[in-house]
Amino acid sequence: MIELDTTVGDGAAVIRPSGRLTMIVAPQLRTVITDTVASGRSRIVVDLSACEFVDSSGLGALIAGLKTARQAGGDLRIAGVGPQIATVLQLTNLDRVLRAHDTVGGAFSAG
């Protein structure tokens, strides 16, 4: 399940997937990110605090979302990363591309 929060600040949004971010949910996440950027909110934080697992499809959706947001002049950041997701990010070296922040607020305020 993916929930889109209200806008936080100028042109910013929080997306909160929950459960398992796998090939079943990944296309929905891509669509939510694309639609959010198309609506003028190109600064996005994906709050993963309610996500317990991410597979390669989920990572692909996050990277695609990052590209979409950056092409629109914004950015995609992640927050609330648990141990399993942190390990996957480190093993794939995606922790260098998708920098994890402790909180949604911290992700928005990070430079």
pTM value is 0.91
Instruction: Give the start-end residues of each E strand in the chain.
Output: 2-7, 12-17, 19-21, 43-47, 51-54, 75-79, 100-101
The pLDDT tens digits for 48-105 are 999 999 999 999 999 999 999 999 999 999 999 999 999 999 999 999 999 899 998 8
The structural domains of the chain, ordered by start, are 2-109 (3.30.750.24)
DSSP state of 6: E
Cα–Cα distance measured from residue 98 to residue 40, given in angstroms and rounded to the nearest whole number: 22
